[in-house]
Amino acid sequence: MFGLEKRDTLLLGVVVVLTLFAPFILNPFPADSGLAQFNAGYPDLMQRFVIFGIFAIGFNILFGLTGYLSFGHAAFLGVGSYSAVWMFKLLSYNVVPALVLAVIMAGLFSALIGFISLRRSGIYFSILTLAFAQMSFNLAYSVLTPITNGETGLQIYTSDPQYLQSVDAPSFPNLFGAAMNSSTTLFFGGWTFTFSVGYYFCAIFLILAFYLAIRIFRSPFGMMLRAVKSNQQRMNYTGLNTRPYTLAAFVISGMYAGLAGGLLAAMDPLAGAERMQWTASGEVVLMTILGGAGTLIGPVLGAGFIKYFENIFAKINDNVLHGWFAFMPDGIEDAMVAIIHPFVGKGWHLTLGLLFMLVVIFLPGGLVEGGQRLGRVFRRKDKNAGSVEADAAQRRSEAAE
């Protein structure tokens, strides 16, 4: 279907179902229960899941396929956000021109940076992209203040021209009248489900982005990118110039990042320089690695995983911890809280760093590889069981003789 193989169609179907029914799936606990803090089914967080999912899918097209580790992709996200907000400021709150400009600007910007950075590979490439990202951050933070509004961040004021804004249109980013922050709520028993326009808008983009990624992965172009990863030198020796391919991959992933940045601005019409900082680039690297670089579903899983735990961990404070360990004797309870305290709340970054190291050390293939290994363990057990029985039967027959 849609030019996909059977397995890929299945994968796409899973992603479609997961994204469309996310408000249900992510809200397994009734709103008034003690576990409601683990719910993730509210629009703000779900939007972040899909937006960073798009970002990570795009990053994976570069890193997963070609092996070029870019440390500067947050710059393209930032460019996307800034251009989207500028479209809101100049034209109207309609998201279509904003997203179009976000993708185009990010594409141009990444073509420029990619053209220079891709002259080198390996560590040099990583450091070059890092330098470019840091330069863009400095530019956005202070030098280009007239365009980016510097430290304060770019936002929309009532004095902005907004030439195409009609009087009756909502004064929030909208798609031909459907405002991104509007939502309907469904009460069902103890559960509360929120369906937000913004979330479904982003979800459709995630599905499209995912479909496009599958097509790229399975195309001859994707094959070429994989060949670059496995042995670029050999490709060069066969007389093939790999740079157009890597540059195309770089620009595509930059455009994905621009789309993600534009969507971020569409959900909340703000753009700040901190989105471009290189720690933000590190985060998308982590998402991709954690999920599984080079796999299709991995980056989406990684993005969801990190954004979920970032949100949940940040909410846990000492009171919550005391609540959890209340069943223990007092001394042990305090000790447990003291042990866990540095890792939650404001200490989320510590957990993130540890997670980063653990994944790289023990599970370089990410969650997807972890799942595959787990599956293999179970399958092997079955096989072993069979062979043991066979052995026993053979031994019995030998004994009988």
Partner 1 sequence: MDAILLQILNGLDKGSAYALIALGLTLIFGTLGVVNFAHGALFMIGAFCSVTLQRILTLSVETIDETKKDFLGNPLKVKTPYVEQWFGPETGQAIIDWSVPLAILFAIPVMLLIGFIMERGLIKHFYKRPHADQILVTFGLAIVLQEVVKYFYGANPIPTPAPQAFVGSFDFAPLLGLDTSLAYPYWRLVYFGFSTLIIAAVFAFLQFTTFGMVVRAGMADRETVGLLGIDIDRRFTIMFGIAAAVAGLAGVMYAPINSPNYHMGMDFLVLSFVVVVVGGMGSLPGAVLAGFLLGILESLASMNEIKSIIYGIDQIIIYVVAIVILLVRPRGLMGRRGVMEE
Q: Which of residues 56-115 bind partner 1 (CB under 8 A)?
A: 67, 69
Q: Which of residues 321-350 bind partner 1 (CB under 8 A)?
A: 342, 347, 349-350
Interaction of residue 313 with partner 1, rule CB under 8 A: no
Backbone angles phi, psi at 184, to 5 degrees: -115, 145
Q: Which is nearer to partner 1, 259 or 276 (CB)?
A: 276
In the list 30, 108, 121, 207, the residue contacting partner 1 (rule: CB under 8 A) is 121
Residue 286 token pair: 């982590």
Distances (CA, A) of 280 to 7, 39, 40: 33, 25, 22
Interaction of residue 370 with partner 1, rule CB under 8 A: no
Interaction of residue 226 with partner 1, rule CB under 8 A: no
User: Do the Cβ atoms of 289 and 359 come closer than 8 Å?
Assistant: yes
Q: Give the total residue count for the chain.
A: 401
CB 120 → partner 1: shortest distance, Å? Answer: 7
Interaction of residue 142 with partner 1, rule CB under 8 A: yes
Interaction of residue 147 with partner 1, rule CB under 8 A: no
Distances (CA, A) of 119 to 116, 129, 221: 6, 11, 20
User: Do the Cβ atoms of 41 and 300 come closer than 8 Å?
Assistant: no
In the list 326, 361, 377, 400, the residue contacting partner 1 (rule: CB under 8 A) is 361
d(CA 175, CA 200) in angstroms, rounded, equals 12
CB 333 → partner 1: shortest distance, Å? Answer: 21
In the list 230, 233, 238, 319, the residue contacting partner 1 (rule: CB under 8 A) is 233
Cα Rg of the chain, angstroms: 24
Interaction of residue 353 with partner 1, rule CB under 8 A: yes
CB 152 → partner 1: shortest distance, Å? Answer: 17
Q: Which is nearer to partner 1, 332 or 357 (CB)?
A: 357
Backbone angles phi, psi at 143, to 5 degrees: -70, -45
CB 375 → partner 1: shortest distance, Å? Answer: 24
Interaction of residue 144 with partner 1, rule CB under 8 A: yes
d(CA 233, CA 196) in angstroms, rounded, equals 49
> Which residues, other chains included, contact 288 with Cβ-Cβ below 8 Å and sequence gap of 6+?
56, 59, 60, 63, 64, 298, 299, 302, 366
d(CA 60, CA 160) in angstroms, rounded, equals 37
Q: Which is nearer to partner 1, 57 or 75 (CB)?
A: 75
d(CA 209, CA 388) in angstroms, rounded, equals 48
Q: Which of residues 259-298 bind partner 1 (CB under 8 A)?
A: 278-279, 282, 285, 289
Among all chains, which residue has been given the structure tokens 């530019």?
Answer: 139
CB 342 → partner 1: shortest distance, Å? Answer: 5
Binding-site ranges for partner 1 (CB under 8 A): 67, 69, 116, 119-124, 126-128, 130-132, 134-135, 138-139, 142-144, 232-233, 278-279, 282, 285, 289, 342, 347, 349-350, 352-357, 360-361, 364
